[in-house]
Each structure stands twice: as structure tokens, then as C-alpha cells.
Amino acid sequence: MGSPIPGSIAEISLQYSDQLILKHVPQNKYIFYARCGYDIVIMYDHSNITSTQVLEYAITIHTDLQFKPTPETNVSINFLDLLLHRTNHGLTAEVYRKHTSTDTTIHHDSNRPIEHNLAAYRFLPNRIHQLPLTPPYKQKEWNKIQHNAKANAFPHALLVKLNAQVSQNPALSSTKDSPTTATTTPKAWLTLYLHDTKNHHFFRAFRTNNTIHNALHNRPRNTNILAQSGIYQLKCHTRNLSYIGQTNH
């Protein structure tokens, strides 16, 4: 499985970069900053700073790191599985899906344990109640879940039961809708994807030969008939008789 140390070291380094970004940025230029893994979302005051200046400053944090910016489009921007909308009354959020996403899950009639289907359709209602979605977006997402369940023959009664069980979870009782407090500060969103462009000359420490390619690879057959496994037949041409036996291989 490998050592967990590299991931911890990478997270420590990124947290240090977060401190540098937040420490040296002039006050009131970054309204909001958050990072999850290598994805960063920033809300900034576009009357004091531009997206180009944000990117230029981020590049100076570490010379071996490169950022790919994605500005907001039509006052909306996606971050992880959220699609954030900026309105005059605050922020709203809905579940984000890529254009290539499909409604395919494990078909209910397939020869699979029922726990696999339950896990898939328990996750979707759980996400509705965990994310800060407004009631219209919650209903929109619930309609999509019902559509997916119908397309994969998942029982609607069981889906409603799962949703009821998730909604009664005490851990989700503190989840509230997204804030709608109005503000006059001109804001803009920007997401940055962080990736390392430096070659660190890492080498694979171990590699197994027990792979599917080796197992299915066509190996040269043994041309010696007597050395092969199977049933053989010896025919006597004098008396026109045959003897059938099995090899020892």
C-alpha cells in the first residue's frame, strides 16, 4: 500500500502555503479562502484586486508549484461537488454534476448484494441533508435522485424510507440553509487547481509480476506430445485394437 508519510508531508507543505497566502495578502482583498486537497476557492474584492493579481501572487509562493485558475462564469463557480451562485442577497449552493455524468448505478435486478444498492442510494439523500442547500435546490436534487432510482429499477418506497432515515439522523440536525445576508462589497470567485511541475525523480520501490497481463499472456506451447497432459490413444495395427489411457501430467 505504500507509506502514508508522503501524503502527510504534502499536506503540511500546503498548510504552510495557506498561511503564507493569508498572511501576506493585504487586508480586505480576500474575503474568503478555502482549500480541500489541491483545490482552492477564493472570494476576493474585485474593486481592490483582479484575478490576474491573485494568480501572480500565488505563483510566487513556491516556484515548483503551478496554479490553473478558473474564474466564475455568470456569477457561478463550482468547487468540489458544489455549484455556488452569487446573488444580491448572498450565496446559494446546489449539487454540481459534470456534463459527462450519467444516471447509471447498479441495477436493482442485477446479481449483486442489496447492500451495494443501499449504499449508493443512502449516500445521495445524505448529501442533500449535509450540504447547505436552499429548499428549491433540495427539491431539485431530490427529483434527480428519484429519476436515477427509476432508471435503475430501484424501489421508490425503499428510496423514501432511506431518505426518512437519513433526515432523522441527529448529526444532521444542525445543518442549516446557506446564508442569505446581503452585502454591498463587490465580490468575485476564483478557483485554483494546484499541481507540481517539478520532476522529483521518484522510483517504484516494488512491483509485482502477478498481473492480469502475465496471467492471460499466451505462452509457447510444449511441442512434445508425450509431455502434454490429456488422454492418449495407442492403436495396434496388427490386431486393429486401441488402448486409451491418461498421462501422468
Residues 192 and 217 in one domain: no
Domains identified in the chain, total number: 2
Spatial CB neighbours of 72, under 8 Å, sequence gap ≥ 6 = 86, 188, 189, 190
- Residues 73-129 have pLDDT tens digits of 888 888 888 888 887 777 788 888 888 888 888 888 888 888 888 888 888 888 888
Same-domain check for residues 167 and 143: yes
By C-alpha distance, which of 191, 196, 192 is closest to 9?
196
Average model confidence (pLDDT) across the chain:
76
- Residue 180's pLDDT is 44
How many helices and strands (H and E) does the chain possess? Answer: 6, 9
Residue 236 belongs to domain spanning: 212-246
The owner of cell 502555503 is 17
Cell 505462452 belongs to residue = 219
Is residue 204 one of the residues assigned to a domain? no
**What share of the chain has pLDDT > 90, as a percent?**
5
Residues 106 and 135 in one domain: yes
| Single-letter amino acid code for the residue at 43 | M
All residues at 6 or more sequence positions from 164 whose CB lies less than 8 Å from its CB, including other chains: none
Predicted confidence at residue 189, as pLDDT, reads 62
Asked whether residue 59 falls in the same domain as residue 23, the answer is yes
Q: Phi and psi of 62, rounded to 5°?
A: -150, 130
pLDDT computed for residue 42 by the predictor: 81
Question: 74 lies in a domain?
Answer: yes
Task: Indicate whether 240 and 152 sit together in one domain.
Answer: no
My answer on whether 166 and 231 are in the same domain is no
164 and 72 within one domain: yes
> Could you tell me the pLDDT band of residue 146, with boundaries at 50, 70 and 90?
very high
107 plus 16 within the same structural domain: yes
Is the same domain home to 138 and 227?
no
Same-domain status, 175 and 67: yes
Burial 190-205 (b: 16+ CB within 10 A, else e): bbbebeeeeeeeeeee
Asked if 123 and 79 sit in the same domain, the reply is: yes
Choice between 15 and 223, residue whose per-residue pLDDT is larger: 15
Q: 159 and 221: one domain? A: no
Identify residue 236 by its one-letter amino acid code: C
